[in-house]
Amino acid sequence: MGAIIKYLVAGILRYWLIHTDYWQILANRVEIATPLNSWKRLIEGVYLYDQDINPYEGDSFHESPIILIIFHFLFKRAPYILPLLFTAIDLLTASLLHKASKAFVRIFLNCQQKNQSDVADESKDMLLSREQLMETSEYVLSVYLFNPYSILNCVGMTTTVVQNALLAAALCSAANGFGIVACACLAFATHQALYPVLQIVPIAMILAEVNKGCDKCSYIRTLLAFVVSWGFLIYISAYIMDGSYNYVYNTYGFILTIPDLKPNVGLFWYFFTEMFEHFRLLFICAFQINALALYIVPLTLRFKKEPLLLITVLLALSTVFRSYPCIGDVGFYMAFIPLWRHLFSFMQQKFIVACAFIITSALGPTVWHLWIYSGSANANFFFGVTLSFATAQIFLITDLLFAYIKREFTLRNGFSRMVDGKPAKLVLR
């Protein structure tokens, strides 16, 4: 009954905000809408397609052709249901995350049971019970439904709502052992935004764990299913565009080359605005390697036994370092933080991170108004806020990882830490 009330309240809140006079302002906010997910650009793309004009010939539309054809159909047949549709998709995302978290809890309990023999006697009390872990599923649901970032993302009717639903479906399917569905949903999310491709690694690990097939063939099957699904979506998109693959440059190419430097909550726009043009290619490669490839191997090697933590960290890192992030991406990965509630006592930066999120979220719109409307600030002020916002996220990620390492060390070695016969403690440097 409690869950139904949560869904009802969250749904009414989203639907009501979409129909307020402030909706247009919210839908155009730089924190919510980007050149990739903007509702305004989606409308323009649909209009051009309806007029038999290729929307990818200009520089305004960058969504995938599949999303284009779906929304073209909805605009033509039932435009009045779109606010309800976005609300329903966001509630579906919350439900999928809720179910995924329950499956993740079962996986966590199985791993804890397997490794129980390695736990020191004095640390036995730190082992988590099923009841303690099951509570986290309710927190996951509540955090997503009532997180201001998730609510504003839905109210702005951005296509990130669809991307989040696909990612949630992929993770939920993987956690329950449905490999083909997981790969298909992840391929669709990747086809839409590219950066979800990172999740193929933890999803392959989860499928191998759930289906008891921890061998190379299991990972190859998952990778093959993902590649085939992605290739099929690329082919379908080309078919929609009359056999042309020119759309690729205005979708994947747009994400990778960052031609639109409209301010957002990310780090790319300011750097490439200030940079000399002849260094552009070098730094595009450096930034995109950082976002897509740099962390995946070391994190996978270190946390190969914790795919759930790997999912959380990779979602957060891809949000911080992607070319066109929005607060909808932040709200999605923050829903996974309650899964690590047992690490909170080991975290050292909780208060600092919480204050940083609150302050930067309030300062962003304020500084934007001072810069754009009042003329009493400049781009440096807004970038300072976005840089602080990114720093808060990095602090959250590093603190979570270090808390996991400290708990792991304590479980194996007990609470008493001695170095050269003297008490010692672990500190983050």
**Per residue in 190-233, pLDDT tens?**
999 999 999 999 999 999 888 876 667 788 899 999 999 999 99
Q: Looking at residue 418, what is its pLDDT?
A: 60
Other C-beta atoms lying within 10 Å of the C-beta of residue 228: 14
Q: Which residues pair with 418 in a beta bridge?
A: 423
Measure the CA–CA gap between 378 and 370, rounded to whole angstroms: 8
Helix extents (H) in 211-295:
216-240, 247-257, 268-274, 280-292
- CB 50, CB 68: distance < 8 Å: no
- CB 371, CB 247: distance < 8 Å: no
Mean pLDDT of 114-141: 78
| Crossing angle of the two packed helices 307-321 and 280-292, in degrees rounded to 10 | 160
- CB 165, CB 94: distance < 8 Å: no
Measure the CA–CA gap between 197 and 163, rounded to whole angstroms: 12
**Per residue in 222-262, pLDDT tens?**
999 999 999 999 999 999 998 889 899 999 999 999 999 99
| Cα-Cα end-to-end distance for the chain | 46
pLDDT bin (cut points 50, 70, 90) of residue 355 is very high
Mean pLDDT of 331-339: 94
- CB 37, CB 328: distance < 8 Å: yes
Residues 6+ apart with CB under 8 A from 192: 63, 64, 67, 159, 162, 163, 166
Q: Which residues pair with 423 in a beta bridge?
A: 418
Q: Looking at residue 113, what is its pLDDT?
A: 76
**Per residue in 32-79, pLDDT tens?**
999 999 999 999 999 999 999 999 988 889 999 999 999 999 999 988
- CB 114, CB 305: distance < 8 Å: no
Question: How would you classify residue 375: left for phi > 0, otherwise alpha for psi between -120 and 50, otherwise beta?
Answer: left
Mean pLDDT of the chain: 90
- Location of structure tokens 């002020």: 381
pLDDT bin (cut points 50, 70, 90) of residue 424 is low
**Per residue in 299-328, pLDDT tens?**
999 988 888 999 999 999 999 999 999 999
Q: Looking at residue 425, what is its pLDDT?
A: 63
Q: Which helix (H) or strand (E) holds 169?
A: helix 160-175
